Amino acid sequence: MRIHFICTGNIYRSRLAEAYCVSKCAPGTEVVSSGIAAGVNAAAPIAPYAAYLLNKYGLSSHAASHWQRTTAAGVRASDVVVFMEAEHQRFCQDWLEPVRQRIEVWEIEDLGPVAPAEIVARVEQTFAMIRQRTDMLLTALGLCCAGTGS
């Protein structure tokens, strides 16, 4: 089973989902993440606020070391494809195989412009949604284990 989380830059939402999912998944499950615009404008390896959450929740060891750009081969190789927003699904539409793949769109918005004082609360809220939806997905797939990232 290969689960693939997709967002825009692969430095925040999809990376958090990947790390959390890896911490919870049954052995033998491959979990990856990518971004449809990863690396554009020399993106950082990971957003500072994502790194903060990974450290806070003890998930750093489960996180990929750098971003990955979404490719047709990567999408086609996945059994489950989770898009953080509908725009990511539209970008990948020609690569999807709905008969074979489980496809979900979570509509979890990127951080966007926010006052510095609000960043921590906003990313905590986003990560709470990611954890909840990941737990629901893993339960539906019968892949949930008692991982470390609760």
39 in any annotated domain: yes
Q: Residues with Cβ < 8 Å from 30, sequence gap 6 or more?
A: 1, 2, 3
Give CA separation, 41 vs 55, 144, 145, in Å.
26, 37, 38
Asked whether residue 147 is assigned to any structural domain, the reply reads: no
Domain that holds residue 67: 2-141
Alpha-carbon span 42 to 66, nearest angstrom:
12
| Pairwise CA distance, residues 99 & 111, whole Å | 33
* Structure-token match 């539209």, residue found: 90
Cα 119 to Cα 65: distance, rounded to the nearest angstrom:
23
CATH number of the domain residue 110 falls in: 3.40.50.2300
Overall number of domains in the chain: 1
Q: Which helix (H) or strand (E) holds 98?
A: none
pLDDT tens for the chain, 150 residues long, are: 999 999 999 999 999 999 999 999 777 899 999 999 998 766 678 888 899 999 999 999 999 888 999 999 999 999 999 999 999 999 999 999 999 999 999 999 888 788 888 888 999 999 999 999 999 999 999 886 655 444
